[in-house]
């Protein structure tokens, strides 16, 4: 039997004020509000659409960084330097494009890890990490974008420690999570945690979501202790060869602003909640979408007040703003989607 999230508090409404499209709308967004940004959904292999998506309380838009229907247009998880209002878009083509949120345009690109679709920006070490299924590489984030290190351990998820001195790397096909020292690129520890579909850091722990088993694992970084939390987010017929057909399975994981709570969304149409204080699965709430079509939730960002979230409904190619306590949809934005949203922490500089 599925549980229920217990929450209290008033939910604030977010007013979407449409301000046109394209570059003009992007400039309105930059001038007024922080937001979420993400690569538009693309398959694990093959061509992609070549755009990133933006959402904020003042509107939404897309920015083209590469031609559509190309390997250069296929990205999964972008890296963001909020201080410079820049988005790093890693692609299957082995190229990373740099998009300016001030101008709404791609400004430059550089050769990067072949097959790397995941990026994270470490603002403390001033490093851009790019991850493929086979390797992890780090680059200086300014021209000439010198490669700092490359190690032969791949995956599809990276979590950075708050001080930026460690990266935790795992993947759906991996049997372990590796702790990588930064900026050296040295493998410091290995944790016996398999199948990390996504990773986040909260209160001294790394949370790893297993898309196949529905188990969320908390790795206590200081002690190395591993705590597993079972959930109902399980499809008994799940297959990695046909993930879009799954009826359940973790997608993106995110934290509340105070890092006390960890949330995950899944293909079952539910938001799952975990306590980072007590290593406990709290429960879940269904997202209340109209109609009877499947509700395959993928991208997730918990907004700044901690009561609402931006969530992509992958099979509908739309994004919704949801009350985390009730699952009620506050706003729906058609044509905007990402499998991995990145929350910008404040007003762009």
CATH code for the domain of 117: 2.130.10.10
Is the residue at 308 inside a domain? yes
Is the residue at 192 inside a domain? yes
Is the residue at 300 inside a domain? yes
Is the residue at 9 inside a domain? no
pLDDT of 78 strictly over 90: yes
- What's the pLDDT at 304? 86
- What's the pLDDT at 294? 84
Mean pLDDT over residues 22-29, rounded? 48
Is the residue at 205 inside a domain? yes
User: How many domains in the chain?
Assistant: 1
Task: Quick: pLDDT tens for 244-260.
Answer: 899 999 999 999 999 99
Task: Quick: pLDDT tens for 55-76.
Answer: 988 888 899 999 999 999 999 9
- What's the pLDDT at 253? 98
- What's the pLDDT at 33? 53
- Considering the chain, what is the average pLDDT of its residues? 89
Q: Which domain holds residue 197?
A: 22-343
Q: Beta strands of 101-249 (E only): which ranges? A: 105-111, 118-122, 127-131, 136-139, 147-151, 157-160, 166-170, 177-181, 187-191, 198-202, 205-209, 215-220, 226-230
Is the residue at 4 inside a domain? no
Residue 32's pLDDT band, with cuts at 50, 70 and 90, is very low
Q: What are the structure tokens assigned to 37, written together?
A: 């940004």
Q: Give CA–CA dist 347/349, Å, rounded.
A: 6
Residues 310 and 344 sit within 8 Å (Cβ to Cβ): no
Q: Give all strands of the β-sheet with 215-220 in edge-to-edge order.
A: 198-202, 205-209, 215-220, 226-230
Is the residue at 348 inside a domain? no
What's the sign of the alpha-carbon dihedral 281, 287, 292, 297? negative
- What's the pLDDT at 127? 98
Instruction: Say how far residue 149 (Cα) sits from the centre of its chain.
Output: 24
Lowest average pLDDT, out of 144-153, 178-187, 204-213, 286-295, goes to 286-295
Is the residue at 8 inside a domain? no
- What's the pLDDT at 9? 29
């Amino acid at each position: 039997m599925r549980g229920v999230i217990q929450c209290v508090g008033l939910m604030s409404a977010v007013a979407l004020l449409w301000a046109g499209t394209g570059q003009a709308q992007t400039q309105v967004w930059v001038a007024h509000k922080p937001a979420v940004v993400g690569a538009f959904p693309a398959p694990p292999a093959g061509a992609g659409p070549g755009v990133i998506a933006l959402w904020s309380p003042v509107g939404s838009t897309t920015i083209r960084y590469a031609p559509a229907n190309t390997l250069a247009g296929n990205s999964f998880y972008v890296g963001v330097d909020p201080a410079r209002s820049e988005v790093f878009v890693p692609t299957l083509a082995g190229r990373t494009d740099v998009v300016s949120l001030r101008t709404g345009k791609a400004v430059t690109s550089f050769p990067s890890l072949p097959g790397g679709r995941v990026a994270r920006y470490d603002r403390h070490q001033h490093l851009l990490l790019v991850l493929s299924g086979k390797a992890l590489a780090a680059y200086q984030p300014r021209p000439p974008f010198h490669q700092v290190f490359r190690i032969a351990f791949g995956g599809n998820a990276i979590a950075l420690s708050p001080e930026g001195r460690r990266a935790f790397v795992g993947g759906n096909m991996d049997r372990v999570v590796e702790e990588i020292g930064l900026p050296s690129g040295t493998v410091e520890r290995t944790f016996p945690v398999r199948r990390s579909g996504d990773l986040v850091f909260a209160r001294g722990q790394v949370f790893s979501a297993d898309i196949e088993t529905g188990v969320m694992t908390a790795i206590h970084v200081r002690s190395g202790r591993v705590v597993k939390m079972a959930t109902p987010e399980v499809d008994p017929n799940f297959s990695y060869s046909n993930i879009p057909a799954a009826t359940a399975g973790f997608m993106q994981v995110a934290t509340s602003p105070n890092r006390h709570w960890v949330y995950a969304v899944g293909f079952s149409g539910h938001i799952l909640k975990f306590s980072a204080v007590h290593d406990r699965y709290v429960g879940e709430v269904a997202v209340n979408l109209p109609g009877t079509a499947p509700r395959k939730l993928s991208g997730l960002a918990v907004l700044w007040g901690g009561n609402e979230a931006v969530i992509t409904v992958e099979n509908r190619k739309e994004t919704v703003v949801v009350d985390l306590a009730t699952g009620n949809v506050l706003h729906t934005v058609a044509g905007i989607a990402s499998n991995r949203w990145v929350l910008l922490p404040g007003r762009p500089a």
